[in-house]
Protein backbone atom coordinates (compact mmCIF):
# COMPACT_ATOMS: atom_id res chain seq x y z
CA UNK A 1 0.00 0.00 0.00
CA UNK A 2 1.48 3.37 -1.06
CA UNK A 3 1.84 6.05 1.59
CA UNK A 4 -0.38 8.42 -0.41
CA UNK A 5 -3.26 5.94 -0.27
CA UNK A 6 -2.75 4.76 3.31
CA UNK A 7 -5.99 5.59 5.11
CA UNK A 8 -7.96 3.82 7.81
CA UNK A 9 -8.42 2.96 11.48
CA UNK A 10 -6.14 0.76 13.60
CA UNK A 11 -5.72 0.13 17.34
CA UNK A 12 -2.58 0.75 19.40
CA UNK A 13 -1.72 -0.06 23.01
CA UNK A 14 -0.97 3.28 24.72
CA UNK A 15 1.92 3.01 27.20
CA UNK A 16 1.24 4.24 30.73
CA UNK A 17 2.61 7.54 32.03
CA UNK A 18 2.12 9.39 28.76
CA UNK A 19 -0.95 11.19 27.43
CA UNK A 20 -2.93 10.14 24.36
CA UNK A 21 -1.51 13.13 22.47
CA UNK A 22 2.04 12.14 23.43
CA UNK A 23 1.43 8.58 22.25
CA UNK A 24 0.07 9.90 18.96
CA UNK A 25 3.12 12.15 18.47
CA UNK A 26 5.47 9.28 19.32
CA UNK A 27 3.75 7.04 16.75
CA UNK A 28 3.94 9.75 14.05
CA UNK A 29 7.64 10.32 14.77
CA UNK A 30 8.38 6.60 14.47
CA UNK A 31 6.52 6.30 11.16
CA UNK A 32 8.04 9.49 9.70
CA UNK A 33 11.53 8.35 10.68
CA UNK A 34 10.92 5.05 8.90
CA UNK A 35 9.49 6.74 5.80
CA UNK A 36 12.34 9.24 5.52
CA UNK A 37 14.88 6.45 5.84
CA UNK A 38 13.37 4.58 2.90
CA UNK A 39 13.02 7.53 0.47
CA UNK A 40 15.58 9.35 -1.64
CA UNK A 41 15.99 13.10 -1.91
CA UNK A 42 14.31 15.90 -0.02
CA UNK A 43 10.72 14.75 -0.39
CA UNK A 44 8.42 16.15 2.27
CA UNK A 45 6.09 13.77 4.07
CA UNK A 46 3.09 14.53 6.25
CA UNK A 47 1.04 12.13 8.35
CA UNK A 48 -2.36 13.16 9.69
CA UNK A 49 -3.59 11.19 12.69
CA UNK A 50 -6.17 11.40 15.42
CA UNK A 51 -7.30 9.19 18.28
CA UNK A 52 -10.70 7.78 19.23
CA UNK A 53 -10.79 9.18 22.76
CA UNK A 54 -8.48 10.56 25.44
CA UNK A 55 -7.13 8.14 28.04
CA UNK A 56 -5.72 9.23 31.40
CA UNK A 57 -1.93 9.43 31.49
CA UNK A 58 -1.91 7.83 34.94
CA UNK A 59 -4.06 7.26 38.01
CA UNK A 60 -3.42 6.14 41.60
CA UNK A 61 -5.21 5.49 44.88
CA UNK A 62 -7.25 2.96 46.85
CA UNK A 63 -10.77 2.24 48.07
CA UNK A 64 -10.89 1.34 51.77
CA UNK A 65 -13.28 0.15 54.49
CA UNK A 66 -15.96 -1.36 52.27
CA UNK A 67 -17.25 -4.91 51.86
CA UNK A 68 -17.72 -6.94 48.69
CA UNK A 69 -21.49 -7.21 49.18
CA UNK A 70 -21.86 -3.47 49.69
CA UNK A 71 -19.91 -2.71 46.52
CA UNK A 72 -21.96 -5.20 44.46
CA UNK A 73 -25.22 -3.74 45.77
CA UNK A 74 -24.23 -0.17 44.91
CA UNK A 75 -22.98 -0.99 41.41
CA UNK A 76 -26.55 -1.38 40.15
CA UNK A 77 -27.10 2.34 40.82
CA UNK A 78 -24.65 3.20 38.05
CA UNK A 79 -26.09 1.04 35.26
CA UNK A 80 -28.04 2.47 32.34
CA UNK A 81 -28.41 6.18 31.66
CA UNK A 82 -27.17 8.19 34.62
CA UNK A 83 -26.11 11.73 35.46
CA UNK A 84 -22.34 11.98 35.95
CA UNK A 85 -20.12 14.93 36.88
CA UNK A 86 -16.91 14.82 34.81
CA UNK A 87 -13.61 15.17 36.71
CA UNK A 88 -11.89 18.55 36.92
CA UNK A 89 -8.81 16.97 35.35
CA UNK A 90 -10.23 16.06 31.94
CA UNK A 91 -10.05 16.94 28.25
CA UNK A 92 -13.46 18.63 28.29
CA UNK A 93 -13.34 22.33 27.51
CA UNK A 94 -14.72 25.56 28.96
CA UNK A 95 -14.32 28.74 26.90
CA UNK A 96 -12.01 26.85 24.54
CA UNK A 97 -9.68 25.70 27.32
CA UNK A 98 -9.41 22.24 28.87
CA UNK A 99 -10.79 21.64 32.35
CA UNK A 100 -7.39 20.23 33.33
CA UNK A 101 -5.65 23.46 32.30
CA UNK A 102 -8.10 25.59 34.29
CA UNK A 103 -7.65 23.32 37.30
CA UNK A 104 -3.85 23.43 37.12
CA UNK A 105 -4.09 27.23 37.23
CA UNK A 106 -6.08 27.02 40.45
CA UNK A 107 -9.42 27.97 38.91
CA UNK A 108 -12.40 26.33 40.63
CA UNK A 109 -14.86 25.08 38.02
CA UNK A 110 -18.60 24.68 38.43
CA UNK A 111 -18.96 21.45 36.44
CA UNK A 112 -22.51 20.43 35.54
CA UNK A 113 -23.48 16.74 35.39
CA UNK A 114 -23.95 15.14 31.98
CA UNK A 115 -26.03 12.18 30.88
CA UNK A 116 -23.86 9.14 30.16
CA UNK A 117 -24.63 5.46 29.70
CA UNK A 118 -23.14 2.37 31.34
CA UNK A 119 -24.10 -0.87 29.58
CA UNK A 120 -22.31 -3.35 31.84
CA UNK A 121 -20.71 -3.08 35.28
CA UNK A 122 -19.23 -6.05 37.14
CA UNK A 123 -17.02 -6.53 40.18
CA UNK A 124 -14.27 -8.83 38.89
CA UNK A 125 -12.05 -8.92 41.96
CA UNK A 126 -12.27 -7.72 45.57
CA UNK A 127 -9.02 -7.78 47.56
CA UNK A 128 -9.20 -4.93 50.10
CA UNK A 129 -8.12 -2.24 49.84
CA UNK A 130 -8.23 -2.88 46.07
CA UNK A 131 -10.96 -4.04 43.71
CA UNK A 132 -11.32 -4.48 39.95
CA UNK A 133 -14.30 -3.47 37.83
CA UNK A 134 -15.29 -4.47 34.31
CA UNK A 135 -17.03 -1.52 32.67
CA UNK A 136 -18.71 -1.23 29.26
CA UNK A 137 -19.81 2.34 28.69
CA UNK A 138 -20.70 4.84 26.01
CA UNK A 139 -19.02 8.02 24.86
CA UNK A 140 -18.25 10.64 27.51
CA UNK A 141 -18.28 8.18 30.43
CA UNK A 142 -15.50 8.76 32.97
CA UNK A 143 -14.37 5.73 34.97
CA UNK A 144 -12.60 8.06 37.40
CA UNK A 145 -15.94 9.70 38.16
CA UNK A 146 -17.58 6.28 38.50
CA UNK A 147 -15.04 5.15 41.11
CA UNK A 148 -15.27 8.49 42.93
CA UNK A 149 -19.07 8.32 43.03
CA UNK A 150 -19.03 4.64 44.03
CA UNK A 151 -16.84 5.53 47.00
CA UNK A 152 -19.41 8.07 48.17
CA UNK A 153 -22.23 5.58 47.57
CA UNK A 154 -20.67 3.09 50.02
CA UNK A 155 -20.01 5.80 52.60
CA UNK A 156 -16.29 6.08 51.95
CA UNK A 157 -13.99 7.53 49.30
CA UNK A 158 -12.24 6.00 46.31
CA UNK A 159 -9.98 6.71 43.36
CA UNK A 160 -8.18 4.78 40.63
CA UNK A 161 -4.93 2.86 40.83
CA UNK A 162 -5.00 1.60 37.24
CA UNK A 163 -7.16 2.02 34.15
CA UNK A 164 -6.98 -0.04 30.96
CA UNK A 165 -9.24 0.21 27.93
CA UNK A 166 -9.74 -3.35 26.69
CA UNK A 167 -12.15 -2.68 23.82
CA UNK A 168 -13.48 0.11 21.62
CA UNK A 169 -16.14 -0.76 19.10
CA UNK A 170 -15.05 -3.95 17.30
CA UNK A 171 -11.39 -3.54 18.31
CA UNK A 172 -10.04 -5.32 21.39
CA UNK A 173 -6.80 -5.15 23.34
CA UNK A 174 -5.47 -8.21 21.53
CA UNK A 175 -5.73 -6.26 18.25
CA UNK A 176 -3.72 -3.28 19.52
CA UNK A 177 -0.19 -2.58 18.25
CA UNK A 178 2.32 -2.37 21.10
CA UNK A 179 4.96 0.35 20.87
CA UNK A 180 7.64 -1.92 19.39
CA UNK A 181 5.16 -2.71 16.57
CA UNK A 182 4.68 0.92 15.54
CA UNK A 183 6.08 0.51 12.03
CA UNK A 184 4.65 1.40 8.63
CA UNK A 185 4.25 -2.27 7.67
CA UNK A 186 2.44 -3.10 10.92
CA UNK A 187 0.12 -0.10 10.61
CA UNK A 188 -0.69 -0.93 6.98
CA UNK A 189 -1.38 -4.56 7.89
CA UNK A 190 -3.59 -3.55 10.81
CA UNK A 191 -5.66 -1.14 8.69
CA UNK A 192 -6.19 -3.85 6.07
CA UNK A 193 -7.04 -6.47 8.68
CA UNK A 194 -9.64 -4.40 10.52
CA UNK A 195 -11.22 -2.32 7.73
CA UNK A 196 -13.98 -4.88 7.13
CA UNK A 197 -15.01 -5.26 10.77
CA UNK A 198 -14.91 -1.49 11.34
CA UNK A 199 -17.09 -0.74 8.30
CA UNK A 200 -19.52 -3.48 9.33
CA UNK A 201 -19.65 -2.09 12.86
CA UNK A 202 -20.42 1.43 11.65
CA UNK A 203 -23.20 0.20 9.37
CA UNK A 204 -24.83 -1.96 12.05
CA UNK A 205 -24.66 0.71 14.76
CA UNK A 206 -25.86 3.75 12.82
CA UNK A 207 -29.44 3.43 14.08
CA UNK A 208 -28.89 1.88 17.51
CA UNK A 209 -28.64 3.35 20.99
CA UNK A 210 -25.00 2.23 21.20
CA UNK A 211 -23.78 4.47 18.38
CA UNK A 212 -22.02 6.65 20.96
CA UNK A 213 -19.70 3.78 21.92
CA UNK A 214 -17.38 5.24 19.30
Helix, strand or coil, per DSSP, at residue 45: coil
Q: Where are the strands (E) in the chain, listed by range?
A: 80-84, 93-94, 97-98, 114-127, 130-137, 167-168, 171-172
Angle ∠(67,72,76) on CA atoms, nearest 5: 145
What is the CA 160 to chain-centroid distance, rounded?
14
Is 149 catalytic? The answer is no
Query: 42, 56, 149, 175: which is the annotated catalytic residue?
Result: 56
CA distance 193 to 189: 6
61 torsion bin: left (phi>0), alpha (psi -120 to 50), beta (else): left
Report the catalytic residues.
Answer: 56
Amino acid sequence: MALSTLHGVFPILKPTRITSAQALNRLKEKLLTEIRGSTIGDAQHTIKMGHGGTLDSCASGVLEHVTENVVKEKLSHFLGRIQQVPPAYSALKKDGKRYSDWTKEGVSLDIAPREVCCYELKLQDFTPPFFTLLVEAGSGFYVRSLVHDLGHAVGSCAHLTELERTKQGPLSLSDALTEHQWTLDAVTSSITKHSGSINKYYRSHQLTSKTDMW
